[in-house]
């Protein structure tokens, strides 16, 4: 069955630590399958800007300096899933983060007649991720990305793209901070891995190779999940 013939919009979840490439892969899936990537942050900002009922509730909570509740996030997601551009399906990135949120999401999808087609875990090695993230830096002039090991400028100290000699690194892109972020991710996500494994929708994907190879393998998983 071709993805275009799907009558019930697909719901895919991307799981993976910081730097695993979720955003890059999600954009490729959007282009390939006509899906829409939905992240919690983008959903909240859009709902607040649109002044929906849920958006107004979220704005009040955020202005008070509090965390937006799961009920509000689910209400915003419910509104978003009903919009025309989500007719073929969505990719959830960054939600759910807990099993409580996963259960709430299941409840929402049961209302709409949808289901989780696949929860795809982008699997990486922590040691390699520390090297990958902590070595990143960008050109201060044009934003071109570089890496201490994997992508150094052709001419040392000079941007390949614009010729600038000024570079910058994110303050949290250091080995200690990255290791801490990875540990927090694993602690937070481990229950979700078990949850979706128990529900028979978990798919693991080695995310340490070439981007195009990873994309090809991911596309096959998604195509199978949508059929």
Report the catalytic residues.
22, 97, 136, 170, 181
Q: DSSP H helical segments within 51-209, as ranges?
A: 53-63, 70-81, 99-112, 126-134, 175-198
- Phi-psi bin for 22: left (phi > 0), alpha (psi -120 to 50), beta? alpha
* Contact assessment for residue 13 and residue 119, using Cβ atoms and an 8 Å cutoff: yes
- As a whole number of angstroms, the distance between CA 43 and CA 78 comes to 11
Give the H/E segment covering residue 94: none
In the DSSP assignment, the letter for residue 158 is B
Facing residues of 90 across strands?
11, 36
In the DSSP assignment, the letter for residue 87 is S
CB atoms within 10 A of CB 202: 19
Coil, helix or strand at residue 57: helix
- As a whole number of angstroms, the distance between CA 148 and CA 99 comes to 38
Distances in whole angstroms, Cα of residue 154 to Cα of each of 139, 143, 159, 167, 169: 13, 16, 8, 14, 19
Prior bond of 74 cis (ω within 30°):
no
């Amino acid at each position: 069955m071709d993805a275009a013939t799907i009558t019930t919009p697909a719901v895919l979840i991307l799981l993976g630590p910081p730097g695993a490439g979720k955003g890059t892969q999600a954009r490729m899936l959007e282009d390939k399958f006509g899906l829409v990537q939905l992240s919690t942050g983008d959903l909240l900002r859009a709902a607040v800007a649109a002044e929906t009922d849920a958006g107004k509730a979220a704005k009040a909570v955020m202005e008070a300096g509090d965390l937006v509740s799961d009920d509000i996030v689910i209400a915003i997601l419910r509104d978003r899933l009903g919009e025309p551009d989500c007719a073929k399906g969505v990719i959830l990135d960054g939600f759910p983060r807990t099993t409580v949120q996963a259960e709430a999401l299941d409840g929402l999808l049961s209302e709409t007649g949808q289901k989780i087609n696949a929860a795809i875990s982008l699997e990486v090695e922590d040691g390699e991720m520390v090297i990958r993230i902590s070595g990143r830096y960008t050109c201060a002039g044009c934003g071109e990305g570089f890496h201490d090991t994997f992508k150094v400028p052709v001419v040392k100290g000079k941007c390949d793209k614009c010729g600038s000699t000024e570079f910058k690194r994110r303050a949290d892109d250091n080995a200690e901070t990255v290791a801490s972020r990875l540990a927090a991710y694993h602690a937070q996500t481990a229950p979700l891995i078990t949850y979706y494994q128990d529900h028979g929708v978990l798919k693991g994907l080695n995310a340490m190779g070439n981007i195009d190879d990873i994309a090809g393998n991911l596309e096959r998983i998604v195509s199978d999940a949508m059929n």
